[in-house]
Structure 1
Amino acid sequence: MNSSNPRIHSVTVADVAREAGVSKATAARVLGNYGVVSEKIRGDVLAAARQLDYRPNELARSMTTGRSGIIGVVVGDIENSFFGYAVRGISDTARSAGFNVILANSSEQIEMEKAAVRVLIGKRVDGLIVTPSESRDISHLRDIHRSGRPLALLDRALPDFDVDTVTVDDRNAAQRATEILTACGHRRIAYITAVDFAGHEYTDLGQIYTSSVRERIEGFMNACNIAGVPPQDRLVMLGATTPQATAEITTNLLSRPSPPTAIIASDSVIALEIFKVVRQRGLRIPEDLSLITFHDADWTTVTSPPITVIDQPAYVLGQTVAELLIRRLKGEARPPERIIVPTSIIERGSVAPPAMQCKI
């Protein structure tokens, strides 16, 4: 039975070669951007490709050249604007170097991270950038490294794993933020993070398997020690993994007989939920509660008052880690680099002495 629909014909390298009047091998060299041809022939082939609306078969090209021109990226939470800016830095840098990016989200879960890595390797990516969700189980990352496929880590370092890594000064940033609060007279301070543990109760750093979180808690605790904040009043709250969980944690904190007078949020997604709970309870920032958050998200500048933030240069982190990976992909042999990008604190209107604060 004959179909009335015309057969769709995919334009091939051979079609472009015939149109340009060159051999298929010559057309392939031009279209694959490898080998040497004259400028005239290159122009003829590219003109023929445009005329025929040639679209390269990426899978076939990767099988021929061994390269896909694609970088795989796995981040913890694409809802978090920090990762959004970092991925933009990666993609802009990759594009300018002739690479495309495939993005995957791990939701900060190790099994989802492993699955994402498997999918990306199946897509024949040339290299990977990963934000590891934890440091206990990194067999999948070691496998990538052993295979010779370039790998770089974004935002979180892994001890005893020598690959290119770009992070911020998490410990120092948390310590400086805490010092701002203790210098204002705060002695009941909470740090809220999305990292979770069985029972949702923090007891010591041995529970924490995410390097950036460990370093932030270390910085927070160190500043509390220096200021003489009693152990029972330096609270680390785990499990702010969803808006609902964050709201519950915040509500429970503010319902205590002696609630914290200040909170540091580990990211702007958590901070926004804290801000909402404070407003819903009829409280005010900073009169009733001081608030500092990691990451200068857009919303932090338009609230009343605007929020004091630890400004992490997320775009620069993404740009830097992509540059390191691309140098590897271009064949550069060098010892692995660990780059720590400094942060800054932007002081706005969300911190005040606890003397201003009413009983919550």
Structure 2
Amino acid sequence: MKRTAPKTPSITVSDVARAANVSKATAARVLGGYGVVSDMIRADVMAAAKALDYRPNELARSMTTGRSGIIGVVVGDIENPFFSLAVRGISDAARAAGFNVILANSGERIEVEKAAVRLLIGKRVDGLIVTPAESRDISHLRDIHRSGRPLALLDRALPDLDVDTVTVDDRGIAMRATRILVDAGHRNIAYVTAVDAEGHEYRDLGQIYTSSVRERIDGFLTVCRDAGIDRPERYVRLGATSPIETRRVADAMLSGPDRPTAILASDSVIALEIFRVIRERGLRVPEDISLITFHDADWTSVTTPPITVIDQPVYALGKSVAELLIRRLKGDPRPAERLILPTSIFERGSVGPPSNAIAKRA
């Protein structure tokens, strides 16, 4: 018969207090990080806790202090390198300030986002960082804000919600990228996004409920119209929600008689699939099709040719939004801040003039 090892009793605050020769209340104040004690007593208590290998009971501590030491984070797609790097920035800033992070993924679906927020609140997180999936349905975010629990927004601004927000100038940088393609001579320019709508067909900006994507499409269309391009909205392609769907979008786009001579991809995951489809069809970048993408993913600099990218300060976005939230958690009363971080374009080898055959048809 197999014997089970006896359970090792957990070290309690009382054990630490006895070892440090202080009261339980004093030990609790030191270990919980609240109240006032002398430096000498704090050092004695911490030394005793280390010697005994004391592990705090997080639930008990949160009930005592009203704080869990945890920040909840909800992002759109953790498989997207953009969000992975942003979460790294959040985690590093949180760890430096003594906080842990619980991460949830919304899959860019509003109901999943709401469920994730409910779950995190149930875990007694001290504050929340959210990348809103939609701008039309933010009742759950309003509820958080009204409750007094600190809330900050990452990457996507909500003008009607007065909370700390960190973004880039999506409209401005989309205009700059589109202008590079227009200045190269392109008139058939496609914009491809994961945002979807009924029938996968773009009609107007009112269909687009993701604020950052709406700003980018607006910037793209503005430059196209200023350049005299006829009905540029016909080249906005929706529904690149997965590698399979992106290939569907790219195949349909590149098989038509008026295929684009240039493509602006809304993220590097989409751009990678488009690049693969271009190659599989025997086409060349940039001789047949020029390509620019948002986000300087690792793969974009090692392809032949390397891809021109919009370099968003992704790590800084995550780090900055976490720092704003932590400031709130420490009681900073100043008005909500809306930080817009600078963005660059790295011009590499994926943009050239349109090929003659297509340019003549345009």
TM-score (norm 2): 0.96
Indicate how the Cα distance of structure 1 residues 81 and 251 shifts in structure 2: closer, same or farther if over 3 A, else same: same
Give the distance between the partners of 1:4 and 1:235, measured in 2 at CA: 67
Indicate how the Cα distance of structure 1 residues 165 and 40 shifts in structure 2: closer, same or farther if over 3 A, else same: same
Give the distance between the partners of 1:235 and 1:164, measured in 2 at CA: 35
Give the distance between the partners of 1:183 and 1:39, measured in 2 at CA: 65
Other structure's SS at 1:299 match:
helix
* 1:166/1:320 contact within 8 Å kept: yes
1:120 aligns with 2:135: no
Point out where structure 2 has 5 or more consecutive residues left out of the alignment: none
* 1:224/1:234 contact within 8 Å kept: no
**Counterpart of 1:284 in structure 2: which amino acid?**
R
Give the distance between the partners of 1:326 and 1:357, measured in 2 at CA: 56
1:229 aligns with 2:235: no
Deviations 1:176-221 (A, max 9, x none): 1110001011000100000011111000011011111110010000
Residue aligning to 2:46: 46
Q: Offset of 1:356 from its aligned partner?
A: 6.2
1:325 aligns with 2:325: yes
Point out where structure 1 has 5 or more consecutive residues left out of the alignment: none
Other structure's SS at 1:328 match:
helix
Residue aligning to 2:71: 71
* 1:287/1:358 contact within 8 Å kept: no
Deviations 1:55-79 (A, max 9, x none): 0011100000001111111110111
Other structure's SS at 2:348 match:
coil
Number of matched residues?
359
Residue aligning to 2:136: 136
Deviations 1:244-282 (A, max 9, x none): 000010011000011000000000000000011111111
Give the distance between the partners of 1:4 and 1:105, measured in 2 at CA: 39
**Counterpart of 1:330 in structure 2: which amino acid?**
K
Residue aligning to 2:165: 165
Give the distance between the partners of 2:136 and 2:190, measured in 1 at CA: 26
User: Kindly, what percent of the aligned residue pairs are identical?
Assistant: 75
Give the distance between the partners of 1:300 and 1:224, measured in 2 at CA: 25
Deviations 1:214-236 (A, max 9, x none): 10010000000111111157510
Residue aligning to 2:156: 156
**Counterpart of 1:318 in structure 2: which amino acid?**
G
Deviations 1:108-136 (A, max 9, x none): 00011001101110111110010000011
* 1:289/1:357 contact within 8 Å kept: no
Residue aligning to 1:242: 242
TM-score (norm 1): 0.97
* 1:288/1:356 contact within 8 Å kept: no
Other structure's SS at 1:72 match:
strand
Other structure's SS at 1:354 match:
coil
Residue aligning to 1:100: 100
